[in-house]
Amino acid sequence: MSHELLDALAKMGFWLALLLQVTPIMLWVERRAPAMMQDRLGPNRVGPFGFFQAIADVGKFVFKEDFEPATANRGLYLLAPMLALVPCMTTYLVLPFGPELEVAGRTILSVVIDSDSGVFVFLALASLGVYSLVLAGWASNNKWSMMGAIRASAQMISYELALTLAVVAALVPAGSLNLQRVVEQQMDDRLLGFLPAWGVFVQPLGFLVFLVAMFAETNRLPFDLPEAESELVAGYHTEYGSMRMAFFFMGEYMNMAVLSALAATLYFGGWSLPGLDLTQYSGIVPGLLGMGILWAKIGLFLFLYVWVRWTFPRFRYDQLMRLGWKILLPLSIVNLVVVAVLVISGRI
């Protein structure tokens, strides 16, 4: 096997090893953090601070009966949970996690696919996630699932527009679709002499649009209409149980993680940290440190997800659509125009 192939496999393994930890840790955080916010204890019996609760949860999923509704469309019913993992298992390929590495006399890029259309590859693969929800809802042959699927398709398309326009605006200062260039531009420039030129300081409006659209794209509260449990039982995954249900969970949490990684890369300097020059280290250390910094930023976003979930009530469906089309979309266009004008006039 060639060196390039081995490098790519090593980098993918590195990413996957970290990504797969997101679900169990988030299962625990999602129980303990709201308990903290609501002044109660939360699960604290299994292991230190109840940390092994996640393992108990996984055990429950594994040993539950694998149930299948008799009227379901079998092939698509079985396919849908697997599709839930497609976006999160592929989009990380274009995310950079460090500077160029010098290992054993070879230069290795800290990104699996170094493409000049990187961020579009990310968005394209992320946009396939909606099929999992839609097919799960349709193939289950259940009215609640169906309602969830219809909601999911309309919601995800509506918010994808605002999200994509926010991303486009975030790319303008760097002048490249390659996320590594975007990180380098944020790292090198300074705003007003002291602020790092992070996207969030350059275009706070764009970041706000991206953040809201990000919550809607991952179907998290306050936008979890496709699985609104008070109206639709569990929405698109009503008819799923055991590990198939767990696949949807994994997909949801890992999608949150990769979208958080994109947010960190576009608006918070990605793997870079102001005042820390990673290139002073040799070997694979800059890659490991960069990955650590990136994941620290991802972790903050993941906590924000939990925080928001237990703070805001769910939107009504018409409010959701109005917010997406009449507020976020115009705002993202305004943001794009403003950023473009600023860049052309040389102020950024």
Partner 1 sequence: MELAIFIVFAVTALVSSIVVVAHRSPVHSTLSLVVTLLATAGLFILLGSPFLAALQVLLYTGAILVLFLFVIMLLNIQRERASSARSPLQTWGALVGAFVLAGAVSRLLWDAHAESVAPPLTETFVSLRGVADQLFTTYLLPFEMIGLLLLLAVVVAGWVAKRVRAEADEESAE
Question: What is the contact surface with partner 1 in residues (CB under 8 A)?
Answer: 76, 115-117, 120-121, 123-125, 127-128, 130-131, 134-135, 137-138, 146, 149-150, 153-154, 156-157, 160, 164, 177
Which CB atom, from 133 or from 284, has the smaller least distance to partner 1? Answer: 133
Torsion on CA atoms 190, 177, 330, 321, rounded to nearest 10: -120
Which CB atom, from 120 or from 310, has the smaller least distance to partner 1? Answer: 120
Cα distance between residue 309 and residue 264, in whole Å: 20
Which CB atom, from 26 or from 89, has the smaller least distance to partner 1? Answer: 89
In whole angstroms, the minimum distance from the beta carbon of 271 to partner 1 comes to: 22
| Sequence-distant (≥ 6) Cβ neighbours of residue 172 within 8 angstroms | 336, 339, 340, 343
Angle at 33 between CA 257 and CA 46, to 5 degrees: 100
Which CB atom, from 35 or from 161, has the smaller least distance to partner 1? Answer: 161
Tokens of 287: 């890659």
The Cβ-side half-sphere exposure at 50, using a 13 Å CA radius, reads: 16
Asked if the peptide bond before residue 81 counts as cis, ω within 30 degrees of 0, the response is no
Which CB atom, from 135 or from 179, has the smaller least distance to partner 1? Answer: 135
By DSSP bridging, strand 106-108 and strand 190-191 are unpaired
In whole angstroms, the minimum distance from the beta carbon of 124 to partner 1 comes to: 4
In whole angstroms, the minimum distance from the beta carbon of 115 to partner 1 comes to: 5
Which CB atom, from 171 or from 197, has the smaller least distance to partner 1? Answer: 171
| Sequence-distant (≥ 6) Cβ neighbours of residue 204 within 8 angstroms | none
Angle of helix 143-171 versus helix 129-139 axis, rounded to 10:
170
In whole angstroms, the minimum distance from the beta carbon of 46 to partner 1 comes to: 41
In whole angstroms, the minimum distance from the beta carbon of 138 to partner 1 comes to: 6
In whole angstroms, the minimum distance from the beta carbon of 125 to partner 1 comes to: 7
> DSSP state, 273?
B
